[in-house]
Amino acid sequence: MKKIVAALASTLLVTTVFAQTAATDTNKAQLKANNEKAEAQATANKKKTEAHKDAAKAQASANEDKASAQADANKEAAKVAQATTPEQASDARGDAAKAQAKANKKKHAAQSKADTKKQDAAKDANVAQAKADKEKVEAQSDANKAAADAKVDAAKK
């Protein structure tokens, strides 16, 4: 009877050691996965920040271009007040109208370009996040597989 109890105790002790080893391997795999997931998210966040900066620069550039175009149109409009004859005033109004139309076209083009860059930046940010999400899923899958393998190894011993 004592031999049976001793054999059972020995088997229980060995099983416990193997189970602890499996748990340690599982914890290591999960820590590795957590690190990989954090790195993937940090990379995505960096790329998203860069994309937002690019979008802000594009909008600032568009605002400058629009202000410059409007200033040119305003110069032409100011010539109307300086005209001394009806003919000069008429010519100045025509020039001012042309300049305003040109300014409106430039402003629209600048804003369109900025909007395109902002859309591209948003797309880049979405791609970066999607890649990070994929990497996080893969890292967790690897950890789950390592945990399952450790359980199988522990059960075999």
Torsion of CA 67, 71, 73, 78, to 10 degrees: 150
CB count, 10 Å around CB of 140?
Answer: 16
Mean pLDDT for the chain overall? 88
Tens of pLDDT, residue by residue over 16-56, are 554 555 568 889 889 999 999 999 999 999 999 999 999 99
Query: Which pLDDT score, from 0 to 100, does residue 111 have?
Result: 95
**Averaged pLDDT for residues 131-136:** 95
Place of tokens 């748990």: 23
pTM exceeds 0.85, yes or no? no
Domain extents in the chain: 2-156
**Averaged pLDDT for residues 107-131:** 95
Q: Which two tokens mark 2?
A: 């004592």
Helix (H, G, I), strand (E, B) or coil at 131: helix
Query: Which pLDDT score, from 0 to 100, does residue 157 have?
Result: 73
